[in-house]
């Protein structure tokens, strides 16, 4: 880190004015600033991306400056940032506590800007010195690792050969480990070192000299065999030394054991072949228009990858206990075009399915397990079968056969196992696609039925709204007209009957309205969005105001009303129903007292509507939310018994809940709605260029 590089600075100050001032001073010095107003937020920010320089106030809400300094000093990954404390407390014991907590320096409030810049310059210099020390330590570690690597490389064999005298001049002790021969034996016995080194490396001195003169390096690998008969792959690097006349005088060489690397390269080549085959099979399965078309091409690819001329895909039929050849290559099929079917106990693929593991056998014509006529003329000597597994069940087998006797090969076993699982997955995917098409057809049928049901429901709602409301309104209208026309001439019974008609008509009108509201909640589409709860409560006040005034009710609302995710009209209807009930179901000698308050939870906001009414009978807390269930069964209280059902249904449609708690006096109804999703703090560099005031 050079002197011109900006530093990332974590600023923690709860005073907005001072936070802005310190931010501007730090930015004027070319730094990137993350400003926090409390210790808890600052600790979360530091843990996510530790800053090398921290400027913090001593007095903070929540986690104070001393505790924050201690946590940062013992912070994640052993980071040791420079901490500068800004404090208005100048007592010696306070300043001593600041330094004991891990701070490097402090500045007293009110802050002298010139002094603050001096302290910042000292802190910046300390940060850069730490960075330089860390870089130096890294370089030292790298050098140490290089020396360690060089030391470990001494395990290679170093040797020198005098070409004119054909004599081994020197050889390192590693020859005993790499080549299995002690250096003393190599130096003492020319036949031994010739056997171990010379034939493999110095077979043609003229050819080596020609390559050296052409400027080529000379490194090659070969298979060496030790005197004990062990063979291993080694890599030799040769450096020729020429005389004045250009003749080859000496060769220095380094021999390394590369057996593991050679095996790894062989394994990598095998894996590449495996991936190529699997990728090719996947391409074939995706490009084919039918499973039959795909299987023919897949068998050809399997035969190429495994080098087996006979390949078959067999399906296991549990009911018939047999293997059915659904595709094959190199196997004659029945002339009538029917699939080849072999009983499970007549083929080794049956063993693979039953045991759920590969089966390998070098078979002969006398093997009684293969009595099917189809194998008589194939002359199979190597037979392999690999179960195709789907969900833990063997559904078939991939069969490979060869007319020659093949030695067991782990690579071939792994490749064939992967191929069998890939083919099983293909067959499962094709089956799933067919099932999906059937499900889609069934879904379209159900969707049509649902649409017709919705259409019928809408028609029913219209019938209720129009055909039932019209005669009701006519009936109540004639009752009003009768009272007005007859006036005082109407008898007491006639007036009583007319008034009962009007009241019953009004009740039926309200019942129809509530039924429509409830049914509409069941099928109307709705979208949730962020809404201000205060706006909803204001709408509720306006809507239920006349009913509250008539009942003489007092409504109090909590000032803390957050933003929630809901549908404004439905939430307003829910709260209106709860407030109306609270004003309605109150003893006659009691003034209704209603309160609306909020309680913020992790992912929800709970809205309470509390009252001092008649309460909810014990054990009826859930039942009252049903359709036509009432809080009070007495006939002198108006209501249709649908209001609370609308509350619960509306909350369910918005992904919320509704409930009630019994109280000593009255009830407390509640609804839960999702909170508004807020953006979380973003790490360093994403807000670069914005001041704390802009943020």
Residue tagged 């509507």 (tokens): 609
Residues 303 and 382 occupy one common structural domain:
yes
Q: What is the mean pLDDT of residues 232-241?
A: 82
Which tokens go with 580?
A: 């109306």
Task: Using DSSP bridges, classify how beta strands 393-402 and 382-390 pair: parallel, antiparallel or unpaired.
Answer: antiparallel
- Where would I find the H helices in 155-237? 175-178, 183-188, 190-196, 198-201, 205-213
Which of 61, 35, 62 lies closest to 46, judged by CA?
A: 35
Q: What is the mean pLDDT of residues 324-337?
A: 79
**Given a cut of 50, is residue 682 above it in pLDDT?**
no
Residue 370: CATH number of its domain: 3.30.450.40
pLDDT score at 284: 67
The least confident of 292-296, 299-303, 600-604 is: 292-296
Q: Is residue 690 part of a domain?
A: no
Q: How confident is the model at residue 455 (pLDDT cuts 50, 70, 90)?
A: low
Residues 519 and 533 occupy one common structural domain:
no
pLDDT score at 371: 46
Q: How confident is the model at residue 467 (pLDDT cuts 50, 70, 90)?
A: low
Residues 529 and 667 occupy one common structural domain:
yes
Residues 543 and 666 occupy one common structural domain:
yes
**Given a cut of 80, is residue 571 above it in pLDDT?**
yes
pLDDT score at 154: 62
pLDDT score at 75: 67
Which of 339, 311, 346 lies closest to 324, judged by CA?
A: 339
pLDDT score at 593: 93
The least confident of 163-177, 436-450, 645-659 is: 436-450
DSSP tag of 679: P
Q: Is residue 629 part of a domain?
A: yes
Q: What are phi and psi of 120, to 5 degrees?
A: -65, -40
Q: Is residue 420 part of a domain?
A: no
pLDDT score at 680: 39
The least confident of 334-338, 385-389, 462-466, 497-501 is: 462-466
The pLDDT > 70 percentage for the chain reads 78
**Higher-scoring residue by pLDDT: 370, 308:** 308
Which of 419, 375, 426, 369 lies closest to 401, judged by CA?
A: 375
Q: What are phi and psi of 204, to 5 degrees?
A: -145, 95
Residue tagged 């293909």 (tokens): 426
Q: Is residue 266 part of a domain?
A: no
Average pLDDT, the chain: 78
Q: Is residue 371 part of a domain?
A: yes
Residues 294 and 316 occupy one common structural domain:
yes
Residue 62: CATH number of its domain: 3.40.50.2300
- Kindly report whether the peptide bond that precedes residue 110 is cis, defined as omega within 30 degrees of 0: yes
pLDDT score at 434: 61
**Given a cut of 80, is residue 587 above it in pLDDT?**
yes
Which of 9, 25, 91, 23 lies closest to 58, judged by CA?
A: 91
pLDDT score at 482: 77
**Higher-scoring residue by pLDDT: 164, 200:** 164
Of 149, 178, 207, the one marking the end of a domain is: 149
**Given a cut of 80, is residue 125 above it in pLDDT?**
yes
Residue tagged 């190597």 (tokens): 382
The least confident of 230-244, 429-443, 560-574, 676-690 is: 676-690
Rg of the chain (C-alpha set): 45
pLDDT score at 581: 87
**Higher-scoring residue by pLDDT: 152, 131:** 131
Q: How confident is the model at residue 684 (pLDDT cuts 50, 70, 90)?
A: very low
**Given a cut of 80, is residue 596 above it in pLDDT?**
yes
pLDDT score at 201: 60
Q: How confident is the model at residue 653 (pLDDT cuts 50, 70, 90)?
A: confident
What is the number of other CB atoms lying within 10 angstroms of the CB of residue 244?
Answer: 6
**Given a cut of 80, is residue 638 above it in pLDDT?**
no
Which of 200, 192, 184 lies closest to 235, judged by CA?
A: 200
Q: What is the mean pLDDT of residues 386-413?
A: 84
pLDDT score at 691: 37
pLDDT score at 460: 67
Of 501, 523, 545, the one marking the end of a domain is: 523
Please, are residues 277 and 415 in contact by the beta-carbon 8 Å criterion? Answer: yes
**pLDDT one-digit tens code per residue, 60-100:** 888 888 888 888 888 666 568 899 998 887 777 877 888 88
Residues 175 and 113 occupy one common structural domain:
no
Residue 198: CATH number of its domain: 3.30.450.20
Cα gap 88→103, rounded to integer Å: 15
Q: What would the DSSP string read from start to end of 370-405?
A: ---GGGTTT---EEEEEEEEETTEEEEEEEEEESSP
- Decide: helix, strand or coil at residue 511: helix
pLDDT score at 534: 92
Cα gap 72→54, rounded to integer Å: 9
**Which residues form the domain of 645?**
525-674
**pLDDT one-digit tens code per residue, 241-280:** 888 887 778 888 888 888 887 777 777 776 777 777 777 7
pLDDT score at 206: 64
Which tokens go with 357?
A: 């593991």
**Higher-scoring residue by pLDDT: 170, 12:** 12
**Given a cut of 60, is residue 507 above it in pLDDT?**
no
Residue 594: CATH number of its domain: 3.30.565.10
* Burial (0-12, 13-18, 19+ Cβ within 10 Å), 643: buried
* Burial (0-12, 13-18, 19+ Cβ within 10 Å), 197: buried
Q: Is residue 173 part of a domain?
A: yes
Please, are residues 329 and 299 in contact by the beta-carbon 8 Å criterion? Answer: yes
Q: What are phi and psi of 672, to 5 degrees?
A: -105, 130
Bin 508: left if φ > 0, else alpha if -120 < ψ < 50, else beta.
alpha
pLDDT score at 687: 38
Helix H or strand E encompassing 204 = none
Q: Is residue 421 part of a domain?
A: no
- Where would I find the H helices in 220-314? 259-287, 291-306
**Given a cut of 70, is residue 565 above it in pLDDT?**
yes
Number of structural domains in the chain: 5
Q: What is the mean pLDDT of residues 642-653?
A: 82
Q: What is the largest CA-CA distance in the chain?
A: 152
Cα gap 250→684, rounded to integer Å: 62
Q: What is the mean pLDDT of residues 313-317?
A: 88
Residues 531 and 518 occupy one common structural domain:
no
Q: Is residue 3 part of a domain?
A: no
Residues 554 and 667 occupy one common structural domain:
yes
Residues 529 and 670 occupy one common structural domain:
yes
Cα gap 583→390, rounded to integer Å: 64
Of 469, 504, 523, the one marking the end of a domain is: 523
Q: What are phi and psi of 276, to 5 degrees?
A: -60, -45
pLDDT score at 648: 85
pLDDT score at 368: 47
Cα gap 283→300, rounded to integer Å: 13
Residues 303 and 348 occupy one common structural domain:
yes
Residues 51 and 166 occupy one common structural domain:
no
Which of 688, 488, 507, 669 lies closest to 583, judged by CA?
A: 669
* CA 311 and chain centroid, separation: 40
pLDDT score at 595: 94
Q: What is the mean pLDDT of residues 333-352?
A: 80
Residues 533 and 599 occupy one common structural domain:
yes
Task: Please compute, for residue 170, the number of CA atoms within 13 A of its CA located in the half-sphere on the CB side.
Answer: 6
* CA 257 and chain centroid, separation: 44
The least confident of 347-356, 417-426, 482-491 is: 482-491
Q: Which of 89-103, 125-139, 591-605 has the largest mean confidence?
A: 591-605
pLDDT score at 152: 44
Which of 368, 371, 358 lies closest to 408, judged by CA?
A: 358
């Amino acid at each position: 880190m050079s002197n011109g590089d900006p530093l990332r600075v974590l600023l923690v100050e709860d005073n907005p004015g001072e936070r802005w001032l310190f931010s501007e001073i730090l930015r004027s010095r070319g730094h990137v600033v993350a400003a926090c107003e409390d210790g808890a937020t600052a600790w979360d920010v530091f843990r996510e991306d530790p800053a090398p320089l921290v400027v913090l106030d001593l007095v903070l809400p929540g986690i104070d400056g001393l505790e924050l300094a201690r946590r940062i000093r013992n912070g994640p990954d052993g980071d040791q940032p420079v901490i500068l404390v800004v404090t208005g407390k100048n007592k010696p014991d306070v300043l001593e506590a600041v330094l004991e907590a891990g701070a490097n320096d402090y500045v007293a409030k009110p802050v002298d800007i010139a002094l603050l810049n001096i302290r910042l310059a000292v802190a910046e210099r300390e940060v850069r010195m730490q960075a330089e020390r860390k870089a130096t330590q890294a370089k030292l570690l790298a050098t140490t690792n290089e020396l360690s690597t060089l030391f470990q490389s001494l395990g290679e064999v170093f040797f020198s050969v005098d070409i004119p005298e054909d004599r081994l001049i020197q050889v390192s002790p590693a020859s005993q480990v790499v080549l299995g021969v002690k250096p003393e034996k190599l130096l003492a016995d020319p036949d031994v070192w010739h056997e171990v080194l010379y034939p493999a490396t110095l077979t043609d001195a003229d050819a080596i000299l020609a390559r050296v003169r052409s400027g080529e390096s000379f490194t090659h690998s070969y298979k060496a065999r030790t005197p004990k008969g062990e063979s291993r792959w080694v890599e030799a690097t040769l450096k020729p030394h020429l005389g004045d006349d250009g003749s080859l005088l000496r060769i220095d060489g380094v021999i390394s054991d590369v057996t593991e690397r050679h095996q790894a390269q062989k394994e990598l080549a095998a894996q590449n072949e495996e991936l190529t085959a699997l990728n090719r099979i996947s391409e074939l399965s995706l490009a084919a228009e039918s499973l039959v078309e795909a299987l023919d091409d897949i068998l050809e690819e399997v035969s190429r990858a495994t080098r087996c001329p006979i390949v078959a895909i067999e399906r296991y039929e549990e009911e018939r206990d047999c293997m059915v050849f659904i595709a094959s290559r190199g196997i004659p099929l029945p002339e009538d075009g029917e699939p080849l079917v072999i009983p499970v106990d007549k083929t080794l693929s049956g063993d693979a399915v039953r045991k759920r593991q590969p089966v390998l056998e070098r078979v002969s014509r006398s093997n009684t397990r293969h009595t099917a006529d189809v194998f008589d003329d194939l002359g199979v000597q190597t037979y392999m079968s690999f179960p195709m597994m789907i969900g833990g069940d063997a559904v078939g087998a991939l069969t490979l056969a060869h007319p020659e006797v093949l030695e067991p090969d782990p690579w071939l076993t792994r490749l064939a196992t992967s191929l069998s699982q890939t083919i099983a997955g293909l067959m499962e995917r094709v089956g799933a696609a067919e099932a999906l098409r059937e499900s889609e057809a069934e879904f379209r049928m159900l969707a049509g039925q649902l649409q017709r049901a919705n259409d019928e429901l809408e028609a029913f709602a219209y019938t209720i709204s129009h055909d039932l409301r019209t005669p009701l309104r006519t009936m109540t209208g004639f009752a009003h007209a009768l009272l007005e026309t007859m006036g005082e001439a109407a008898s007491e019974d006639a007036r009583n009957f007319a008034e009962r008609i009007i009241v019953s008509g009004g009740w039926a009108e309200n019942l129809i309205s509530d039924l429509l509201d409830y049914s509409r909640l069941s099928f109307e589409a709705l979208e949730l969005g962020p809404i201000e709860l205060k706006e909803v409560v204001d709408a509720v006040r306006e809507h239920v105001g006349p009913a509250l005034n008539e009942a003489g009710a007092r409504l109090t609302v909590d000032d803390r009303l957050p933003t929630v995710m809901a549908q404004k009209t439905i939430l307003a209807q829910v709260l209106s129903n709860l407030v109306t009930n609270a004003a309605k179901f109150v003893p006659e000698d009691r003034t209704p007292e209603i309160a609306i308050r909020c309680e913020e939870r992790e992912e929800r906001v709970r809205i309470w509507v509390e009252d001092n009414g008649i309460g909810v009978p014990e054990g009826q807390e859930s039942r009252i939310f049903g359709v036509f269930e009432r809080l009070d069964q007495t006939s002198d209280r108006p209501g249709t018994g649908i209001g609370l059902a609308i509350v619960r249904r509306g909350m369910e449609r918005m992904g919320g809940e509704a409930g009630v708690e019994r109280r000593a006096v009255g009830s407390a109804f509640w609804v839960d709605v999702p909170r508004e999703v807020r953006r979380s703090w973003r790490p360093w560099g994403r807000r670069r260029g914005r001041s704390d005031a802009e943020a």
